[in-house]
Amino acid sequence: MCLITFRIANHPKYKLILAANRDEAYARPTEMASFWSEHPQLLAGKDLEANGTWLGITKDGRIAAITNCHEGTDKVEQITYTADSPKKSRGKIITDYLLSKKQPEIYLHELIKEKHAYQPFNILLGNADALYHFNSQEESFVQLHKGTHSISNASLDTPWPKVRKTKKQIDRILKGEDHYIESLFEMMMDQIPARDDELQYAAALPLDLRRKTSAPFIKTEGFGTRSTTLLLVDYDDQVTFLERTYKKNDTSSDQMFHFKIGE
């Protein structure tokens, strides 16, 4: 997943509102979100190549999401996970946390010691009351507080065009509308590229590719946005989880899950 934009504890109804795009090779086999048959407390999509996930929530309220992270602004990661890769699948970090009983701080301290086993990543984990961010190119994690944040393929709130754009848009949407689900989807489906003078990041990428990947929604020959997830948790611990999956013929399918944390 390459873009996560979210608001914490700054809304009259919801303590967490999160919108996330998963960008991946179109050929990579994937299952849409569901409660996993082998782990019925876990709601997430599934990467069938590595058997991990990119975003999920459990019935007891554990939340986690991950993005790949470029190694600085002048290098672009080219390595993807395969069965014989020397690096572990980053998607397994998400399932490991969600299926564990460890406190977020304890899990993150352990993850810091193991971070070099993975290609660089950003991770959000915790629950709707205490959410943490860790960038594997750093040595510590932070607990996030009230406000609007966004992560793409650099660290938290790095001002890439799609990060700045969606942070402004989510604030506008949540301030001015009562029924904003479709507006959040539209925000994440925006294919308008950034201006060339905004494309100073990831300089190792050809300019044309930077243009194609600068919008919130990516669509290239073999790689692009595969799905958008909206996750909302209200102050009564009611969860709304919506997933829009994009298909080859420019159509999409939606699914929605509702449950109360702890039940």
Query: What would the pLDDT profile of 98-108 be if each residue is shown by its tens digit?
Result: 999 999 999 99
pLDDT above 90 as % of the chain: 81
Domain ranges of the chain: 3-260
pLDDT number for residue 71? 53
Mean pLDDT of the chain: 92
- pTM assigned to the model: 0.93
> What is the pLDDT, as a whole number, of residue 206?
82
The pLDDT tens digits of the residues spanning 201-215 come to 767 678 888 888 999
User: Would you say residue 74 has pLDDT above 50?
Assistant: no
**Residue 30 parent element (H or E):** strand 30-35
- What is the model's pLDDT at position 84? 47
Is residue 81's pLDDT more than 90? no
- The mean per-residue pLDDT over the stretch 110-135 comes to 97
Q: Are 229 and 240 in contact (CB under 8 A)?
A: no
pLDDT, tens digit, 9 for 90 and up, residues 149-199: 999 998 999 999 999 999 999 999 999 777 899 999 999 999 999 999 998
CA 73 to chain centre: 20
Residue with tokens 């611990």: 237
- Find the mean pLDDT for residues 29-52: 97
CA distances from 143 to 3, 21, 101, 132, 230 (A): 19, 22, 19, 4, 21
Tally of residues, the chain? 263
pLDDT at 79: 37
- Top CATH class of 3-260 equals alpha beta
